Copies of this chain bind each other. A is one copy, B any other.
Amino acid sequence: MPDHQPLTDHEAETLDAHWRALNYLSACQLYLRDNPLLAEPLRAEHIKPRLLGHWGTCPGLGLVYTHLNRLVRERGQRALGVWGPGHGAAAVLSGAWLEGTFGELNPDAPRDAEGMLRLFRDFSQPGGIPSHTAPEVPGSLQEGGELGYSLAHAYGAAFDNPDLLVCAVIGDGEAETGPLAASWHSDKFLDPVHDGAVLPVLHLNGYKIANPTVLARLPEEELGALLHGYGYEPLFVTAAPDTPHPEVHRAMAATFDTALGHIRSIQHAARSAGTGTGGPAEGTPHSARPRWPMVVLRTPKGWTGPRELDGAPVEGTWRAHQVPLPGVHDDPEQLRQLEHWLRSYGPRELFDEGGRPLPHVVECVPDGDLRLGSVPEANGGRLLRQLPLPSLKPHGVQVDRPGGGSHEPTRVLGGLLAELLTATEERRDFRLFGPDETDSNHLNGVYEATGRGWQGEYEPTDEHLSPHGRVLEVLSEHMCQGWLEGYVLTGRNGLFASYEGFANIVASMAAQHVKWVHSAREVPWRRPVAGLNYLLTSHAWRQDHNGFSHQDPGFVDHVLSKSPDVVRAYLPPDTNTLLCVADHVLRTRDTVNVVVAGKHPCFDWLDLEAAWAHCARGLGVWEWAGTEREGEEPDVVLACAGDVPTLETLAAASLLREWLPGLAVRVVNVVDLTRLMPPSQHPHGMPDGEFDAVFTRDRPVIFAYHGYPWLVHRLTYRRTAHDRMAVRGYREMGSTTTPFDMVVRNGMDRYHLVMDVVDRTPGLGARAVRARQAAADMRERHHARVREHGTDLPEVTDWRWPGR
């Protein structure tokens, strides 16, 4: 029983006028630098010198824009668009211009002929608006370049946004990607009580750049089964080139109305019950997961554009992908075709002489912040609030003397996160994401505060599942990342905790997010969003049991290759420093923060106060660990970054204290890697003078670093006498083995560091030679034991001051 009326003729006409206006504006963005209203015959000089853009997807995107407008206006449903085929930015820009948001945000492009021309000229021009959806495009929250993330972004946006409808347009090209194919299953994680709804619109226009798409060539029965299998109720809208437009609008309106009705009844049922559809209490069997509606929209590619060119079909084919008439500069026939095409939309029936849209064209457009280009979630910083971060005091671990005790850093962090999750229980603006590793990463303290969100069936053997949980776990790093991005970009906060070795699964997504944030910072009306936070644990040095495939510390390298105004990397050496770093990154804005920390017992080096001061500096001398004499330069600097390197460095310092008591050793620990860079290269960069004060100007530096050694060289190569720096780190020598064997294989063990000190510090004499030999002997002895017994002795995982 439909809860809606069919469109009147008038409504169908006004919707069609809006859509034609969108199509007209989209096509013109690709072509025109003058004569925006076609007030005069189209001539070559009206055409842009360089034709850029993607026409093929625009008419379909435009159709969704038009009908989403109607849904918002007529049905009072607040909605956010996620434009998967973002290379069709022209369509989204057209919608934003037509509804007035583009002109409000860009006062030089108001809703008149001049503003229209400004839009056309700026599109795809240097210094103008990118050809893909980008921060410059109102109402968009993702780059349209690298495909695959729209559906995950849409779910991320919908989480904890109960009144919002997120309409995700998914191109049939994008639908072939892995991340998108997995993301359909996000419906198993959407809580109908606390979350909003996602309405996927699978837009089948049949072709990618040159190939047919997989999904468009499935028999409808098979496609229906696939989407049913993903958990959805697919509603089909199919338009052919010759389908009368009023018919299309009636079908779209009815379908959107049906979908919204279905969504509202799911939400109503769940919210009345108070706990989710079917209303089970936590932990009870639950098999009434709602079947959310979705739309399959089948339209010709480049619909309403040129039917053919030089006898070859264009509309409905891959030839419509980009610029369907590429030869308009030189070919008068193509220019004529273009004019015919553009005039087919009837610009004079859409705009007045001054270029203002006529009233019936914008009749479907909602008001104010309900407009798709103005909905606050698309500029999430507008909604962002400071998190109620707990005091660190109750969580900090007591440290009477450095190394006097040990804790699992991530486990303690779990307690802090639990408190934060409790503090945000009502606000629901913080979530934890992970690929089924929350327990493995020792963060399971969070279950004191909330469960793992789960809308699937329950079994008695489950633990910590809850329909309303704010920990989201699925074995897809892509989904975790996409959800978090969508969550952050709509004004909320989160943390993605992952095995370090598998973080590169989302390397490209992280890079695209950095690019988005970097660009958004340059768009005056974009408000800062929360940092995107990674906690990388179960790291390379302690994946000895899982072996080589789990050992890859390169994500930090990757992230630090991107825009320095956005990227940050922290390697807290112990529990209290991890707490301080976590507190910091959760306060940052417009950043991507990578925190690398261990989950295994780790000596406590700094009490909370010292940790706070150390993290505030980002790096510093640990006087207590060295043997330098006040007022004198040390003989050698032992530097370290990361928990395992810190342990090995302190153990080496300890051995040196015993074996070479006259040697003045300075120990430096680095928490914030970007402090090593010059201020010209990173906002956290340290001035040369400060750097020299810490590392001296000429003493050998033996640097034990958590990841690939060359990263430290890269960050420091402009520093004074960089040649004196020897960096030890992970050099891809991994296997299934023991923790000690891992550091030995990679030359970062305490004994090797001692040998480095002797080798690189001139004038140490015979005693040093003996110390070196002792180190080499102990290294070999312990290593032989590993090979024989398969386990480490405490001596090589422990640390103590000599003589204590």
Would you call B219 and A229 a contact (CB within 8 A)? Answer: no
Chain A 700-735, CB within 8 Å of chain B: the 1/0 string? 000000001010011001000011000000001011
Segment among A100-108, A129-137, A256-264, A380-388 that sits at the interface with chain B: A129-137
Would you call A736 and B125 a contact (CB within 8 A)? Answer: yes
Chain A 557-590, CB within 8 Å of chain B: the 1/0 string? 1100111000000000000000000000000000
Chain A 771-804, CB within 8 Å of chain B: the 1/0 string? 0000000000000001101110000000000000
Name A223's closest neighbour in chain B (CB-CB).
B229
Chain A 486-503, CB within 8 Å of chain B: the 1/0 string? 000000000000000110
Would you call A440 and B210 a contact (CB within 8 A)? Answer: yes
Interface presence of A466 (CB below 8 A)? no
Name A543's closest neighbour in chain B (CB-CB).
B145
In the complex, chain B residues whose CB is within 8 Å of the CB of A477: 177
Interface presence of A225 (CB below 8 A)? yes
In the complex, chain B residues whose CB is within 8 Å of the CB of A125: 736, 790
Bound together, the chains give a CA A206 to CA B317 distance in angstroms of: 44
Interface presence of A465 (CB below 8 A)? yes
Interface presence of A358 (CB below 8 A)? no
Interface presence of A52 (CB below 8 A)? yes
Would you call A548 and B515 a contact (CB within 8 A)? Answer: yes
Would you call A130 and B736 a contact (CB within 8 A)? Answer: yes
Would you call B226 and A230 a contact (CB within 8 A)? Answer: yes
Bound together, the chains give a CA A478 to CA B549 distance in angstroms of: 18
Interface presence of A507 (CB below 8 A)? yes
Would you call A439 and B209 a contact (CB within 8 A)? Answer: yes
Name A460's closest neighbour in chain B (CB-CB).
B313
Bound together, the chains give a CA A222 to CA B185 distance in angstroms of: 12
In the complex, chain B residues whose CB is within 8 Å of the CB of A562: 732
Q: Could you say which of A209, A454, A501, A738 has the most chain B C-beta atoms within 10 Å of its C-beta? A: A209
User: How far does the Cβ of A271 sit from chain B's closest Cβ, in whole Å?
Assistant: 23
Bound together, the chains give a CA A212 to CA B189 distance in angstroms of: 12
Question: Out of B146, B212, B519, which one reaches A462, CB within 8 Å?
Answer: B212
- Please judge, given known A-B contacts A178-B177, A214-B474, A717-B713, whether A126 and B511 are in contact too, CB under 8 Å: no
Interface presence of A50 (CB below 8 A)? yes
Bound together, the chains give a CA A475 to CA B134 distance in angstroms of: 21
Interface presence of A512 (CB below 8 A)? yes
- Please judge, given known A-B contacts A212-B456, A561-B557, whether A549 and B476 are in contact too, CB under 8 Å: no
In the complex, chain B residues whose CB is within 8 Å of the CB of A436: 173, 208-211
User: How far does the Cβ of A733 sit from chain B's closest Cβ, in whole Å?
Assistant: 9
Chain A 107-133, CB within 8 Å of chain B: the 1/0 string? 000000000000000001111111110
In the complex, chain B residues whose CB is within 8 Å of the CB of A708: 561
Would you call B549 and A127 a contact (CB within 8 A)? Answer: no
Would you call B210 and A463 a contact (CB within 8 A)? Answer: yes
Bound together, the chains give a CA A188 to CA B211 distance in angstroms of: 13
Would you call A176 and B475 a contact (CB within 8 A)? Answer: yes
Write the residues of chain A forming the contact surface with B, with a CB cutoff of 8 angstroms. Answer: 48-50, 52, 87, 124-132, 134, 143-148, 173-174, 176-185, 188, 206-214, 217-219, 222-231, 287, 313, 316-318, 436-440, 452, 454, 456-457, 459, 461-463, 465, 473-479, 501-502, 504-505, 507-508, 511-512, 515, 518-519, 545-550, 552, 554, 557-558, 561-563, 708, 710, 713-714, 717, 722-723, 732, 734-738, 741, 786-787, 789-791
Inter-chain pairs besides A218-B229, A504-B558, A554-B561, 8 sampled, C-beta below 8 Å: A50-B545, A52-B736, A143-B548, A178-B478, A210-B473, A222-B229, A223-B229, A226-B230
A-B contact pairs, 13 of them (CB 8 A): A49-B790, A126-B790, A143-B549, A148-B178, A176-B474, A178-B181, A178-B478, A181-B476, A210-B440, A211-B475, A316-B461, A512-B549, A515-B734
